Amino acid sequence: MSAQLTAIQLLDRIMKNVGVPWQSQRADGFGDGIHSGSPDTSVTGIATTFIPTIDVLKRAIASGKNTIICRETPFYSRGERAPLFFRNGPEPPKELMDKDPVIRAKRELIEANRLVIIKLFDNWDARKTDGQLHGLAKALGWDRYHLKPKNGADIYRPGNEYFSLPKTTLGQLAKDTRRKLQAKGIRVIGDPQSSVAKAALTHGFLLVNDLRRVMKVPGVDVVVAGEPVEWEASEYFEDLLTAKMAKGLILLGNEVSEEPGSGEVAVWLRTFLSDIPVEWIPAGEPAWTV
Amino acid sequence: MDGMNKHIWTRREVARLGGAGIVAATSGFGQRKRITARQVVERIRENIGVPWHYRTADTFKWGDPDAPITGITCTFMSTYSLLQRSAAAGNSFVISHEPTFWSADDVATDLRDDALFEQKMNFIDQHRMVVFRFHDHWHARRPDGIFTGFTRKMEWEKYATKDPMKFEIPEITLDALVKTMQAKLRVRSARVVGDPGLRVTSVRHGGHYIAQTMAAAQDADVVVAGEVREWESMEYFRDAVALGQKKGLIVLPHEGAEEAGMEECARWLRGFVSEVPVQFIASGDPFWIG
């Protein structure tokens, strides 16, 4: 009986099916697992999403789902006490959070509706197939251009994230990308007229070492990514342009780059949770541009 | 690092050339009085008005600090393109607010065998340039040098409040405010959270991190930030708006929010450096919206 499955039992099923040794802790910050809510809560339905915004929570509640499986957590922080190199902020002090009207209202919404929020990030990414990368490639319609390693299987993983696109311009590729992903505005570095064909696709937070890694592959002229640190990866890319070592960087934003992967999480959950409704509720882009 | 060893040798070589008068002679500005980068930084330390920190990012990043300089460029970021433009303008000393080698401490990344690193470093050496980062102390100055430049560029001196980070402005919509900021700060890639028609009469700087933007949100209609992490501040404001709060967040590119502060720095330096020209050169908004 589906009504008997509790949040902790759901997590147990996820751990059994994930296919890699489960890591529940990080050196700093929130690990995967139940982030908010009681482990004994009966799961009425599951919503997968990039981030449980107020709007996502309300949509989940309206459709009778009390369990959210997400990549980023509800209170605007990865929970780190000492983030590296000032790339992001530490979790705000408890006193500030306890009196903040947005946090208080969101906590009340979660508690009043007995929601359970489960973080699934590191263990999902550790799977043999990178579901985030695969989901994004499919959303872009790029799966048919995926470059397979010689004699290798068509596996989506870091190290195997290259695509041979029909030759186009950076400007056109940015437009196509925006349309395919229904994004309101994406940021681009590079000359819109330059011709591009071989792409590296990454998702989420773009660290400079990841950018350097994909640019080591011969012939990569355009990188599509999520969110850079502007004094790290985007400066590095500006410098690559000046050195004529690359042509374009298309920055989708973190949500736009990761959200299709939340759809993949839903598809995967349905393979072992046949009697519980599972819905992907995209959070949508947080910002607009002028 | 291999590169470092090579660099030290080159630096010595440049110093030897400088000592022989060759560097000064090749600068093409014979009448200039002799001054070194180190002497300029000593004057900065005398004039900054706050104690100089022992642990700081404000150090020489590349080049020989004891060679005579031909001119000074103040900029937001010492990108490769900026270095080229500074050399073309005849300024061998670059004072940059942000890193040169793509991380907060300029050495966080292992750059052995990095072709771009080689090229950028060689450019600095070959043009007998020297790069100094001026970040921590320019922010520590009272008032903060970066925000002084922002206020001047926006012509908001008349809207100042007791809180040096906050302005009370004539009523304007969020959409119109963003457009004004883009024009005045030479920005094309601002991203915004909130209702475009929101009526705004108070604006506050929000730093970069969630604890800062959350605190700023309690105190103004609109928070302005130069680069935030998307899963932190953008999501906080999205939820605030979803809860019905009349708030907005304007996320400028890091460069656009802080560049005017380095124009201010050039103005300030001219007050106590007269031996060589001091020029502000914009590194520029790296992004366009696709």
Mean pLDDT of B179-202: 98
Residue ranges in chain A whose pLDDT is less than 50: 1-2
According to CATH, what is the number of the domain B154-254?
Answer: 3.40.1390.30
Q: How many Cα atoms within 13 Å fall on the side-chain side of residue A22?
A: 14
**Alpha-carbon span B284 to A231, nearest angstrom:** 13
The rounded percent of chain B whose pLDDT value lies above 90 is 86
Q: Would A182 be classed as within a structural domain?
A: yes
In this complex, do A192 and B108 lie within 8 Å of one another by their Cβ atoms?
no
Q: How far is A55 from chain B (nearest CA, A)?
A: 7
In this complex, do A77 and B215 lie within 8 Å of one another by their Cβ atoms?
no
The reply to whether A169 and A185 lie within a common domain is yes
User: Where along chain B do the CATH 3.40.1390.30 domains lie?
Assistant: 2-141, 154-254
A176 close contact with B: CB closer than 8 A:
no
Q: Would A274 be classed as within a structural domain?
A: no
**Alpha-carbon span B228 to A229, nearest angstrom:** 9
Tokens of A180: 């395919």
A153 close contact with B: CB closer than 8 A:
no
Q: Which residue in A88, A242, A253 is closest to B84 by CB distance? A: A242
**Alpha-carbon span B76 to B269, nearest angstrom:** 15
Q: Would A235 be classed as within a structural domain?
A: yes
Predicted local confidence at residue B16, as pLDDT: 40
Q: B192-242 pLDDT, tens per residue? A: 999 999 999 999 999 999 999 999 999 999 999 999 999 999 999 999 999
The reply to whether A121 and A135 lie within a common domain is no
In this complex, do B243 and A54 lie within 8 Å of one another by their Cβ atoms?
yes
Predicted local confidence at residue A153, as pLDDT: 83
Q: Would A267 be classed as within a structural domain?
A: no
- Of all helices (H) and strands (E), which one includes residue A198? strand A195-201
The reply to whether A120 and A140 lie within a common domain is no
Contact pairs from chain A to chain B, CB under 8 Å: 183
Q: Would A9 be classed as within a structural domain?
A: yes
**Alpha-carbon span B48 to B60, nearest angstrom:** 17
Cis check: omega of the bond before B143, within 30 degrees of 0: yes
Q: Would A263 be classed as within a structural domain?
A: no
ipTM: 0.97
Q: Which of A126, A161, A181 is the last residue of a domain?
A: A126
The reply to whether A155 and A171 lie within a common domain is yes
List the CATH number of the domain containing A167.
3.40.1390.30
Instruction: Give the contacts of A50 (CB within 8 A, at least 6 positions apart).
Output: A70, A71, A72, A254, A255, A258, A259, A261, A262, A282, A283
Chain B residues lying within 8 Å of A254, measured CB to CB: 230-231
For chain B, what is the mean pLDDT? 91
Mean pLDDT of B1-29: 41
Q: Would A273 be classed as within a structural domain?
A: no
Q: B112-153 pLDDT, tens per residue? A: 889 999 999 999 999 999 999 999 999 999 999 999 999 999
Q: In what order do the strands lie in the sheet with A288-289?
A: A288-289, B191-193, B248-252, B222-226, B199-205, B166-173
Predicted local confidence at residue A2, as pLDDT: 46
Angle at B112 between CA B108 and CA B117, to 5 degrees: 80
Confidence (pTM): 0.93
Tokens of B194: 């909130």
The reply to whether A137 and A118 lie within a common domain is no
Q: Which of A126, A148, A164 is the last residue of a domain?
A: A126
Domain range for A107 is 2-126
The reply to whether A101 and A117 lie within a common domain is yes
Tokens of B282: 């914009």
Number of structural domains found in chain A? 2
The reply to whether A235 and A249 lie within a common domain is yes
DSSP track, A34-103 = EEES-TTPBP--EEEESS--HHHHHHHHHTT--EEEESS-TTSS---SS-GGGSSPPPPPHHHHHH-HHH
The reply to whether A107 and A197 lie within a common domain is no
The reply to whether A159 and A62 lie within a common domain is no
The CATH homologous superfamily of the domain defined by B2-141? NIF3 (NGG1p interacting factor 3)-like (3.40.1390.30)
Q: Would A56 be classed as within a structural domain?
A: yes
The reply to whether A121 and A223 lie within a common domain is no
Predicted local confidence at residue B32, as pLDDT: 67
pLDDT of B9 higher than 60: no
Q: Which of A92, A126, A160 is the last residue of a domain?
A: A126
